[in-house]
Amino acid sequence: MTSQTSTVPAYTGWQDLYRKKWDWDAVFWGTHCVDCYPGNCPMRVYVKDGIVWREEQSGSFDTIEPGVPDFNPMGCQKGASWSQSLYGPDRVMYPLKRAGERGEGKWTRISWDQALGEIADSMIDAIEEQGPHAIVHEGTPEMATVAPTGRFFSTFGGLGLDLNGSINDFSIGLYETFGKFSPVSSADDWFHSEVVLIWHMNPIYTRIPFYHFIAEARYNGAEVINISPDINPSHTHADIQVPIKGATDQAFGLAMVQVMFEENIADWKFLKEQTDFGYLVRTDNQRYLRQTDVEGQGREDQMYQWVPGQGLKLADRGSVFLKGVDIALEGVFDVKLADGATVQVTPVYSLLKKKLDSEYTPEKQQAITGVNPDVVRTVARKVAAKRTNIMLGYNACKFYHGDLIERVQCLVLAASGNWGKKGTGIRCWAAGMHDGLFISSNKPGPGAANTEIVLAGRDAAVAAMKATDPTMTTEIAVRELGMLASRMEASGGGPGGGPTGSSTVPAMMWYYQGGYRDRWNKKEWGDESLPRKFDDYFNEAVEKGWWLGMDKPRPEEPPRVLIECGGNMLRRTRGGKTALLPTLWQKLKTIVTIDFRMSQTALYADYFLPAAQHYEKVSFHIPTPHVMNLTFSDKAANPAGEAKNEWSLYAALLTAMAERAKARGLTEYTDRKGYTRRYADLPAYYSMNGYLLDEDKMADEAIRDSALAGTLPMGTNLDTLREKGHVRFIDWGLTPMALAQASPIAANETHVPFRDHTESGHPFPTYARRAQFYIDHPWFLEAGEQLPTWKPNPKMGGDLPLGMTSGHNRWSIHTMNQGNWVILGTHRGEAEVSVNPDDAAARGVSDGDLIRVYNDVSSFKVHARVAPNVRPGQVVSYNGWAGFQYPDWSGANEIEPGMVKWIGFAGGYGHLRHLGTEWQPVPSDRWVSCDFEKVN
């Protein structure tokens, strides 16, 4: 080539490539709309010749509260190298069809027309043979897929599984205590803490963009206390390490509370007002004293307190404040009932104190936890004296008795008065505020007028619900409406009476279709103290109608089509291939994976449809109180290859359904609730006659609708977000998770939940209308769990000497980044488990050896990382390795029995009712019984 025609510059070394990083055609705002919760890191995305070249942290946040550090810079190594996964060797960019057996790894590239036509035929077959509910999808928290997938399944009437029942990020103990599981402070509020308890979290791994607030709080004088069985990375910057035996946290926390009571350093006023400690319990049956007991009529959920010198007082259901009246916390009192009988009653606090003094002194807990009594007293005194913040992750909820762990953590905060003020509290996760995303995809057509119709209907429903009980707050009314809607949608009828999809909790499908009934009925793998077997509880729950409408899919109606979009069932499900391939997989005629790379589930699917990646579509991150912003991600480049965004993909699939139905002479079908749908109408209904298929219009509509709903400043639109990349929310809106914060929003203050409860006296959405530590549901009484208590962890998987635990790894958002070459260069580059040196030596294992980890369920092979920070008897397998990174494509989840605690099926009692992502049975995977041996 002559110099006159050459346009390629000479390459003189790596310096040329480095300089070219500063040469681009355009810059866009981007983020990674995956479940890297809380995430929301705004990035600047650089594009050259239509290719995403690189990204970098924007560092674009303003100071919120004077004197408090800002959020900058935000970001992590995954986000800073995400662009490498757009064009990496593991990216799948074309539709594929299975060529061999499922899991054989043989695929054929096919056209979109062929893929959509064949999948459409399989969906039509399922509809004609059983009904649309035979087509199932698993939930996902990824914002780019939630709205389009939900609308797609609602359009034809499919069955959706509650995402939190699959992933189990449901803090059931918080829910049992507060009637909600999602209190979340903004991360900058951590700076106000004086004591930080890192307790079932590893924030140095899992809160990379936000950890600086903990470090800055420490510079500001806070003490950081790390409570964990292993010396995890977060201990490095802690002031105190509490090395506790695994699954014994309840005993440690209860002993701390015993110290606070014994030394009279508890916050007594706080306890009397915020909790049920003053509620009277009958000594004859251990049930609350109710208005129906005393008066023979009235409310069954109206309880009593005792006023010294006066007697019975009806507990105020509309306010937690005592308004100058003092109530008794101790004593035994005689009360005459409506039937003339006299019973003795005593306050909840009296029962709890008696239990703590007899079972959980610092000395008595040591035999359970291994923690020195002096450590218990030291930590208890610090917590009682200072603003204390519990850093709770999504670890405790994954223990079999995780609800008891979390109830005890809440009790520690209650005894010390540590919620509802800055620098205090506990957390799980919450999403909400971007109400427009769901308004715009559920209203009859585009435009502000249609938005006003939806908002007016919503406001009318809230007002009507409040009219049934004047003591309801807006939060409680919205939750009640959500529970009603959950049942209606589970049955296939929408809140407005129109056709929609149906839903259920995953535990029902695992029980009926996944073979888990046999596992859950193994008494030796569950709570051996129970007087009845698992099936007795399950059958009672079903017979009493506690899960009416969600008791599906029944054995006689197996699912026929599974569509995975944003999920990964074979890796996510506890039990994985071992449980599902011989059961559910045999019943599924068609399995479709929509993804950007091969997942464990995709390897055992029939079709792979390539999805657009982040930076290739317009989307938003999960809007959360953790950051208080709506974070925008723009379309910086066209989807690679033939990948499609979810909205256009589903629209094309519905069009194929309409065409195939017409060719087969089919016009309409009726679902199990009697709604009739015409195949020809499905595409137009889904897309609002094409309106939702324009990414810019869809995003702009959602943003404007959020502004109309009052959660974003008026005037916010797609253009303003393209300028700044994020915008701060100004109100909670009307979704249950957002309203669960129960606090005002201020433009110049950090956010902390529960201020409405502590400053304004708003009641909690519990059965007791206060933080509820005594639960007198018959199942709780039968199990001895009416009060928080310690129970030994079950031998899930067999009677073996070791316990496998887990946590989120540092290198990948679940499995998404495991194939990224940049990330692979930051660790050993292969799946591993960490084991204690003594345990390894006893089994002849050295660092790097291939071992087989096994129990009575199954086994998997993996390389050992011999590490002295791991507790003897513990095996640490971090979450996120892809199944195909292990020999035989079998990962750590293969040995997890997937046990659920029977208590999750309880119902018929106040707040113990299903609401989307909330009350339901959830799987356990922490401290699974196991052992390991060297593979020769």
Nearest to 569 by CA among 490, 510, 650, 501: 510
Q: Tell me how far apart the 2 most distant CA atoms of the chain are, in Å.
A: 110
Element (DSSP H or E) covering residue 510 = helix 506-513
3-state class of 807 per DSSP? coil
Phi, psi for 553 (deg, rounded to 5): -75, 125
Residue 828 bridge partners (DSSP): none
Domain boundaries, the chain: 14-86, 96-168+442-739, 185-427+756-772, 802-934
CATH topology of domain 96-168+442-739: Rossmann fold (3.40.50)
DSSP 782: H
Cβ contacts of residue 2 below 8 Å, gap of 6+?
Answer: none
29, 632 Cβ separation under 8 angstroms: yes
Please give the structure tokens belonging to residue 118. Answer: 């064949």
Q: Which residue's structure tokens are 């087989």?
A: 852
Cβ contacts of residue 862 below 8 Å, gap of 6+?
Answer: 831, 832, 833, 850, 851, 853, 877, 886, 887, 892
The amino acid that residue 839 corresponds to is D
Report d(CA 225, CA 238) in Å as an integer.
Answer: 6
3-state class of 274 per DSSP? helix
Phi, psi for 62 (deg, rounded to 5): -85, 165
Report d(CA 381, CA 168) in Å as an integer.
Answer: 33
- DSSP calls for 280-308: EEETTTSPBPBHHHHHSSS-TT-BEEEET
C-beta atoms surrounding 117 within 10 Å? 18
The amino acid that residue 338 corresponds to is A
Architecture in CATH for domain 185-427+756-772: 3-Layer(aba) Sandwich (3.40)
Please give the structure tokens belonging to residue 153. Answer: 């399944």
Report d(CA 261, CA 264) in Å as an integer.
Answer: 5
pLDDT of residue 370: 99
369, 252 Cβ separation under 8 angstroms: yes
Report d(CA 832, CA 842) in Å as an integer.
Answer: 19
pLDDT of residue 5: 54
- DSSP calls for 642-689: T-B-HHHHHHHHHHHHHHHHHHTT--EEE-TTS-EEEGGGHHHHHHTT
pLDDT of residue 494: 40
pLDDT of residue 605: 99
Block means of pLDDT (10 residues each) for the chain, 936 residues, are 56 78 92 93 97 96 98 96 94 98 98 99 98 94 88 95 95 99 98 99 96 98 98 95 98 99 99 99 99 98 98 98 98 98 99 99 99 99 99 97 99 99 98 93 89 95 97 98 83 46 93 98 97 98 96 96 96 97 99 97 98 97 98 98 98 99 98 92 95 94 98 98 98 97 98 99 99 99 99 98 95 90 92 98 99 99 98 96 95 98 98 97 98 98
Overall pTM surpassing 0.85 (yes/no): yes
pLDDT of residue 420: 99
The burial class, CB within 10 Å (0-12 / 13-18 / 19+), for 329 is buried
Residue 296 bridge partners (DSSP): none
Phi, psi for 630 (deg, rounded to 5): -90, 120
Nearest to 780 by CA among 255, 43, 172, 246: 172
Residue 54 bridge partners (DSSP): 46
Cβ contacts of residue 68 below 8 Å, gap of 6+?
Answer: 188, 191, 192, 750
CATH for the stretch 802-934: 2.40.40.20
Report d(CA 862, CA 39) in Å as an integer.
Answer: 30
pLDDT of residue 8: 65
Cβ contacts of residue 10 below 8 Å, gap of 6+?
Answer: none
Please give the structure tokens belonging to residue 599. Answer: 């997942």
Q: Which residue's structure tokens are 């000594």?
A: 283
